[in-house]
């Protein structure tokens, strides 16, 4: 199981070449990955505008979440 931190998600979203995304997909191909509620909140708080917030929030709906 992987607990993916905020800094990893930020780098994934900023990755213009998709190289980091490919590495991430390989790393989690056979292992479940999760993000905490704190990570979700941090990502949403870091959005620059309403459009970005909506995009991040839509990703959140599809992510596995850890229960506290």
Give Cβ neighbours of residue 1 (< 8 Å, ≥ 6 apart): 31, 32, 33, 34
* Predicted local distance difference test score (pLDDT) of residue 50: 92
Nearest alpha-carbon partner for 38 in 2, 1, 56, 65:
65
Confidence of residue 61 (pLDDT cuts 50, 70, 90): low
Report the pLDDT value the prediction gives residue 25, as an integer from 0 to 100. Answer: 87
Does a structural domain hold residue 8? yes
Domains in the chain, number: 1
The model's pTM:
0.68
Closest CA to 58 of 13, 27, 3: 13
Please indicate whether residue 62 or residue 19 has the higher confidence score (pLDDT).
19
Residue 46 lies in a domain: yes
- At 34 the three-state DSSP class reads strand
Domain span holding position 26: 2-60
65 in a structural domain: no
What is the chain's percent helix, strand, coil content, to nearest 5? Answer: 55, 10, 35
Per-residue pLDDT tens for 4-58? 899 998 888 888 888 998 998 898 888 888 888 888 889 889 888 999 888 887 7
In a domain, 41, yes or no: yes
Is 31 part of a structural domain of the chain? yes
Residue 68, domain member (yes or no): no
């Amino acid at each position: 199981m992987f607990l993916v931190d905020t800094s990893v998600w930020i780098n994934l979203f900023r990755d213009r070449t998709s190289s980091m995304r490919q590495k991430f997909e390989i790393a989690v191909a056979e292992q479940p990955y999760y993000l905490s509620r704190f990570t979700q909140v941090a990502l949403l708080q870091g959005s620059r505008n309403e459009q970005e917030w909506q995009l991040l929030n839509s990703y959140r709906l599809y992510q596995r979440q850890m229960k506290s």
